[in-house]
């Protein structure tokens, strides 16, 4: 029997499919046919089947089915549990960039107004100066463009802090195993760089190890500079607290466990305590001096 989106053909007899465009689109996605025996359908078969009257009607119905299938595919894509988290963490990163750029600009602006502050400014972080300007602006009841801009940056920084907490909490729901190993914020950033949970679950450990180290990786490829040993996962305490000569090994072990955790998150969607306990113990051993041949 040959099955098509418009009906089933068996022994020269055709049974038309009854349903609207959305039902036909679902049927088209569900049909599984061996390509060795597949015969492409044409409008004449649909007419002979009684599904339509002529070529024009066939093309019109096919267009509606394709549109309905595309709409359903878009809905399915946006219904994935990691889609909103992906947008949240990318918004968080954009907010970090905006806050840093504006803070530096306000610090330069303040330095022009107060030249005597120049030497002190070199030792004062921009975000600390912006917060100080904002507080003075609030105490004086407003006034002055510089103070208002500083206040807006401070407000944006508060919104960024609230968003970071929400990103971490959402990551723990979407990626329970990955978040348990490396923290919600870092797990969300891994997700962002990979492009989604499905994409992250397909990456080998070696790729996860250097996610976020794109510049250093391309520099290694182009100029044969030393290859990067870690990317985003450097933020894990076991990696950045490890001795410099042991960081590569700790990063490899952590990346290997994260590759497994991402697959568990994608296919199971729940925390696996037995895996997490074993993974944490293995990561701790890798970062401990004197273990596994490390000095």
Q: How does pLDDT run across 173-216, given as a tens digit for each residue? A: 999 999 999 999 999 999 999 999 999 999 999 899 888 877 76
CATH class belonging to 175-287: mainly alpha
142 pLDDT higher than 80: no
pLDDT band for position 294 (50/70/90)? very low
Domain ranges of the chain: 2-78, 83-169, 175-287
Give pLDDT tens digits for 73-91.
888 878 788 899 999 999 9
Give pLDDT tens digits for 218-268.
676 777 777 777 788 888 888 888 888 888 888 899 999 999 999 999 999
Predicted confidence at residue 293, as pLDDT, reads 39
Q: What is the mean pLDDT of the chain?
A: 84
Q: How far apart are CA 65 and CA 28, in angstroms?
A: 9
User: CB-hemisphere CA count at 13 Å for 74?
Assistant: 6
Most confidently modeled range among 13-17, 23-27, 271-275: 271-275
Burial zone of 7 (CB within 10 Å; 0-12 exposed, 13-18 middle, 19+ buried): buried
Q: How far apart are CA 17 and CA 88, in angstroms?
A: 43
Task: Give pTM, 2 decimals.
Answer: 0.74
Predicted confidence at residue 295, as pLDDT, reads 32
Q: How far apart are CA 289 and CA 295, in angstroms?
A: 6
């Amino acid at each position: 029997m040959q099955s098509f989106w418009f009906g089933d053909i068996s022994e020269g007899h055709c049974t038309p499919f009854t349903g609207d465009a959305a039902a036909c689109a679902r049927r088209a996605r569900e049909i599984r046919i061996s390509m060795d025996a597949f015969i492409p359908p044409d409008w004449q078969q649909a007419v002979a089947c009684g599904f339509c009257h002529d070529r024009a009607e066939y093309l019109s119905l096919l267009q509606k089915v394709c549109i309905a299938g595309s709409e359903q595919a878009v809905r399915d894509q946006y219904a994935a549990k990691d889609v909103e988290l992906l947008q949240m963490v990318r918004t968080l990163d954009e907010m970090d960039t905006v806050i840093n750029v504006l803070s530096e600009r306000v610090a330069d602006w303040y330095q022009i107004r107060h030249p005597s502050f120049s030497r002190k400014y070199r030792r004062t972080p921009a975000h600390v100066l912006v917060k100080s300007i904002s507080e003075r602006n609030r105490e004086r009841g407003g006034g002055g463009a510089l103070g208002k801009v500083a206040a807006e940056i401070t407000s944006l920084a508060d919104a960024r802090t609230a968003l970071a907490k929400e990103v971490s909490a959402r990551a723990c729901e979407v990626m329970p195993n990955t978040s348990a190993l490396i923290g919600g914020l870092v797990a969300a950033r891994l997700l962002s760089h990979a492009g989604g949970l499905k994409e992250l679950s397909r990456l080998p450990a070696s790729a996860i190890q250097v996610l976020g180290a794109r510049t250093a990786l391309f520099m290694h490829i182009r100029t044969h500079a030393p290859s990067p040993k870690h990317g985003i996962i450097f933020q894990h305490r076991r990696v950045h607290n490890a001795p410099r000569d042991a960081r590569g090994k700790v990063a490899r072990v952590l990346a290997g466990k994260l590759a497994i955790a991402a697959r568990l998150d994608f296919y199971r969607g729940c925390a696996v305590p037995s895996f997490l306990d074993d993974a944490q113990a293995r990561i701790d051993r890798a970062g401990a001096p004197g273990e596994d041949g490390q000095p």
